[in-house]
Amino acid sequence: MNARKRIEDATRETLQKLKDGADVTDPSLPVWKVDAELVLESERQRFEQGDGMALLAAVRVCANHDMPLPAWASKAYISAFDAVLNCRAESWDEAFGRPFKKGKHLHALRKRRTMQRKVWLAVRHAHEHDGASIDVSLFEKVGKKLHLGKTQTSGLYYEAERFARLFDK
Query: Average pLDDT per run of 10 along the chain, which is 169 residues long?
Result: 79 88 84 87 93 92 93 97 96 88 84 85 88 94 94 91 59
Residue 14 vs residues 31, 35, 37, 149: alpha-carbon distances, Å = 6, 12, 16, 36
Tell me 168's DSSP state.
Answer: -
In angstroms, the CA 40 to CA 55 distance is 9
User: What was the pLDDT predicted at 168?
Assistant: 47
Residues in the chain: 169
In angstroms, the CA 56 to CA 76 distance is 10
In angstroms, the CA 3 to CA 86 distance is 41
| pTM strictly above 0.85 | no
